[in-house]
Amino acid sequence: MNRSERNFLAPLKKNRRNKTFVIAEAGVHHGGSLEVGKKLITAAASAGADAIKFQTYKAETLVTRWAAQYWQSDTVPEAGPSGQATQFDYFKKRDSFGPEEYAELSRYAAEVGIHFSSTPFDRQSVEWLTQLDVPFWKIASADLDNFPLLAQVARTGKPVILSTGASYLREVDESVRFLRAEGVADLALMHCNLAYPTPNNEANLGRIALLRGQFPDLVIGYSDHTIPDEHVTVPVAAVTLGAEIIEKHFTLDRSLPEDDHYHSVNPVLLRSMIQQIETVEQATGMQAEITPSEAPARQQARRSLVANEDIASGQVLTRDLLVAKRPGGGISPKELDHILGKRTKVHIVKDDFVLPDALEQ
């Protein structure tokens, strides 16, 4: 069974014209506001994304109170009570949503016609989201070796999309084997660079081929953290290299401070990315030697052997009597040496085809 047949996300496709499954990663860009969360959902659906994904966590179960921030920010890192910029203080300001808010976002996503999911970061989050019947689980790169969490999502029987940033292939293999042993039938791996943001020269898209080679029976995708240009080049390029899922961070306004708004796409860029993915799919989908659109050119632009001057019946063909001209359909110029020396059976007018039935055998 090939990858296309294995692509368990195909039934979830919002836009049946293209096969790449596009996830708008809204993370916590709702800022604690249900209204903003719904605007994100509406905008992602309007842009053509197949799914919108948030993040579900509580700071107390995610990180120690002293772990330092490690990602780049376009503002001064947030300092907590200790005066240092900690991950705990960062996440605590963004973990206000609970089961009621996620339930409302899920309901609203269904209303506007886009799939809702959220990355769980702890046991409680999995329990909340299981009640919402999310169509798939997306597990963050940092939890690739969090086997207790992987086991919990595996028990739900839902498809799992696992990001593989900052991990060696042997670690990915261990996690794949673990998920398989825990009963996960539908599994996808996402190439990802865990640097926020990812420098273009470290996007490492060649790793898509490595994952495809090592895990030929799995769907392979790409989760992007590069700063998008006007063409959203890097994730679109990932599709040309075989990514079947694209996840891109999504915001309503890239100029907003804090978080990762600056390396996200806004609604205009998201729609542009999806349109370009559709174009790439159209351009790479066929595996024909000659396409239907080439048939007229093949007929009219190829050359045939024609009379270079009027040729009398019974005349022996010499090189001077023949010339190769458009269109095709007659004797190919490659056959010139095979017909030299043959005698004509009929009169051939200048510029007419020299056809096999006009020659003595």
Residue 273 lies in a domain: yes
Residue 181 lies in a domain: yes
Of the pLDDT bands very low, low, confident and very high (cuts 50, 70, 90), residue 4 is very low
**Out of 19-33, 133-147, 176-190, 282-296, least confident range:** 282-296
pLDDT at 82 over 80: no
pLDDT at 81 over 90: no
Do 215 and 112 reside in the same domain of the chain?
yes
Do 43 and 153 reside in the same domain of the chain?
yes
Residue 104 lies in a domain: yes
Of the pLDDT bands very low, low, confident and very high (cuts 50, 70, 90), residue 89 is very high
Residue 64 lies in a domain: no
Of the pLDDT bands very low, low, confident and very high (cuts 50, 70, 90), residue 76 is very low
Structural domain total, the chain: 2
> To which residue do tokens 């080679």 refer?
213
Do 209 and 348 reside in the same domain of the chain?
no
Tokens representing residue 138 in the block: 């997306």
List all residues 6 or more positions away from 67 whose beta carbon is below 8 Å from its beta carbon.
Answer: 86, 87, 88
Do 265 and 324 reside in the same domain of the chain?
no
Residue 26 lies in a domain: yes
Do 260 and 323 reside in the same domain of the chain?
no
* CATH at 172: 3.20.20.70
* CATH at 331: 3.90.1210.10
Domain span at residue 118 reads 11-58+95-284
pTM of the entire structure?
0.89
pLDDT at 218 over 70: yes
Closest CA to 307 of 299, 318, 296, 297: 318
pLDDT at 326 over 80: yes
How high is the pLDDT of residue 73? Answer: 57
Do 220 and 299 reside in the same domain of the chain?
no
Do 279 and 318 reside in the same domain of the chain?
no
Do 260 and 312 reside in the same domain of the chain?
no
How high is the pLDDT of residue 56? Answer: 98
Residue 72 lies in a domain: no
Domain ends where: 258, 284, 310? Answer: 284
pLDDT at 259 over 90: no
How high is the pLDDT of residue 109? Answer: 98
How high is the pLDDT of residue 5? Answer: 46
Do 194 and 299 reside in the same domain of the chain?
no
Residue 82 lies in a domain: no
Q: What is the pLDDT of residues 118-173, one digit of tens each?
A: 999 999 999 999 999 999 999 999 999 999 999 999 999 999 999 999 999 999 99
Domain ends where: 241, 263, 284? Answer: 284
Q: What is the pLDDT of residues 171-213, one digit of tens each?
A: 999 999 999 999 999 999 999 999 999 999 999 999 999 999 9
Do 51 and 196 reside in the same domain of the chain?
yes
Of the pLDDT bands very low, low, confident and very high (cuts 50, 70, 90), residue 8 is confident
Residue 81 lies in a domain: no
How high is the pLDDT of residue 84? Answer: 73
Tokens representing residue 245 in the block: 């899922």
Of the pLDDT bands very low, low, confident and very high (cuts 50, 70, 90), residue 42 is very high
Share of the chain above pLDDT 70, in %: 94
Do 137 and 162 reside in the same domain of the chain?
yes
> To which residue do tokens 């966590």 refer?
57
Look at the chain and count its residues: 361
Q: What is the 3-state secondary structure (H, E, C) of the chain?
A: CCHHHHCCCHHHCCCCCCCCEEEEEEECCCCCCHHHHHHHHHHHHHHCCCEEEEEECCHHHHCCCCCECCCCCCCCCCCCCCCCCEHHHHHHCCCCCCHHHHHHHHHHHHHHCCEEEEEECCHHHHHHHHHCCCCCEEECHHHCCCHHHHHHHHCCCCCEEEECCCCCHHHHHHHHHHHHHCCCCCEEEEEECCCCCECHHHCCCCHHHHHHHHCCCCEEEEEECECCCCCCHHHHHHHHCCCCEEEEEECCCCCCCCCCHHHCECHHHHHHHHHHHHHHHHHHCCCCCCCHHHHHHHHHHCCEEEECCCECCCCECCHHHEEEECCCCCCCHHHHHHHCCCEECCCECCCCECCHHHECC
Do 208 and 336 reside in the same domain of the chain?
no
